[in-house]
């Protein structure tokens, strides 16, 4: 375990001019005292690690020291070739760059690991689009992807809704990152206000569906990236807010133990768990009563119908009557003709 940590420490120092003991400790999840011991061990092993003293000091490699990729285990080498998603790279116009990078990595590997790219490809394949959906690459994706990699502002026109084909809005954006969700491409970008009112880092971050863009013109200006922006965290928060924004109605339902277990597979999982946590103890029949947010009563009807006798809708009255009518019809279908 220590050997792996020492290798990672060298690679971290290779990628940056210098790092403080605190930064290395945070990256490697150890104490600063351990970092001091590891730096000494590397130095004794012939790795030129140098420690600058003082408040602005830190650890760095001297003499342009570089390590080759000869210490990789097979699992590590294979993981490198899993880090790129071929289909997504192709759609963004980065297939050639990815291919060149993989060739360079392959050239640096030991002979026994030369087949890592083939063995990895035989063991993992990502099929991003959802079932029964024809994947479609947005025409403007390569241009937007190039702006993302280059930190370049774009002037974009987009349709607010697919049904509003004639209504287009224009925005100047700072595109921070791309997300591929179930075969659909999105760009997370900061909105820039009109020039007279523009202030650095003052606009909100928003999510745009790239297929709704009708134009995207890269500008000549680059923007200064806000280093505090965390793309995975931002997307997770936005996705959760979007899911919750769809839940506009409320139902009261009584569930059997089996119904409670299946609830998270029937409705929004987070809302289901919160409702179960807030529910009181089971009644004498072992059933729990809970209040649950749903997208609409029509959607709730379909969802709870799949639970059959494991769920009893109590409120609202009109939805309960709908289930009562459905139960009567189902009972009629299965009534013994004799």
So what's the pLDDT on residue 296?
Answer: 87
Q: Which range is least confidently modeled, 120-124, 198-202, 238-242, 330-334?
A: 198-202
Please give the C-alpha separations between residue 27 and each of 30, 86, 214, in angstroms, as whole numbers.
8, 29, 42
So what's the pLDDT on residue 164?
Answer: 46
pLDDT value at 104 more than 70: no
Residue with the bigger pLDDT between 290 and 130: it is 290
70-94 pLDDT per residue, tens: 566 666 666 666 665 667 777 777 7
pLDDT value at 198 more than 50: no
So what's the pLDDT on residue 197?
Answer: 46
Provide the H-helix boundaries in the chain: 2-15, 21-28, 32-44, 74-82, 86-91, 95-108, 116-121, 141-150, 231-245, 257-262, 269-278, 297-305, 317-333
Q: How many CB atoms lie within 10 A of CB 29?
A: 8
16-29 pLDDT per residue, tens: 778 898 899 988 88
Mean pLDDT calculated for residue range 112-123: 70
Instruction: State pTM to two decimals.
Output: 0.59
């Amino acid at each position: 375990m220590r050997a792996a940590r020492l290798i990672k420490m060298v690679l971290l120092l290779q990628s940056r001019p210098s790092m403080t003991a605190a930064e290395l400790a945070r990256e490697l999840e150890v104490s600063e005292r351990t970092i001091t011991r590891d730096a000494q061990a590397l130095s004794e092993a012939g790795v030129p690690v140098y420690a600058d003293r003082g408040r602005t000091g830190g650890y760095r490699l001297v003499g342009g020291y570089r390590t080759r990729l000869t210490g990789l285990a097979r699992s590590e080498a294979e993981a490198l070739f899993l880090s790129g998603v071929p289909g997504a790279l192709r759609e963004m116009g980065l297939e050639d760059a990815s291919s060149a990078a993989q060739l360079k990595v392959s050239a640096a590997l030991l002979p026994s690991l030369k087949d890592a790219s083939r063995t990895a490809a035989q063991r993992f394949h990502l099929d991003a689009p959802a079932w029964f959906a024809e994947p479609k690459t947005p025409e403007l994706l390569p241009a937007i992807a190039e702006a993302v990699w280059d930190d370049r502002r774009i002037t974009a026109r987009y349709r607010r809704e697919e049904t509003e084909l004639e209504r287009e809005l224009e925005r100047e954006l700072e595109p921070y990152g791309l997300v591929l969700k179930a075969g659909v491409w999105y760009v997370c970008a900061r909105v820039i206000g009109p020039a007279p009112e523009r202030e650095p880092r003052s606009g909100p971050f928003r999510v745009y569906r790239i297929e709704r863009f009708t134009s995207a013109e890269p500008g000549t200006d680059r923007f200064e990236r806000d280093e505090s922006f965390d793309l995975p965290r931002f997307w997770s928060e936005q996705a959760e807010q979007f899911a919750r924004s769809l839940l506009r109605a409320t139902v009261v339902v009584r569930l059997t133990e089996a119904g409670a277990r299946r609830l998270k597979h029937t409705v929004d999982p987070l809302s289901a768990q919160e409702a179960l946590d807030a529910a009181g103890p089971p009644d004498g029949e072992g059933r729990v009563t809970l209040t649950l947010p749903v997208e609409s009563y029509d959607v709730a009807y379909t969802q709870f119908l799949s639970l059959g006798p494991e769920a009893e809708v109590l409120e609202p009255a009109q939805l309960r009557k709908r289930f009562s009518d459905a139960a009567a019809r189902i009972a009629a279908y299965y009534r013994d003709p004799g």
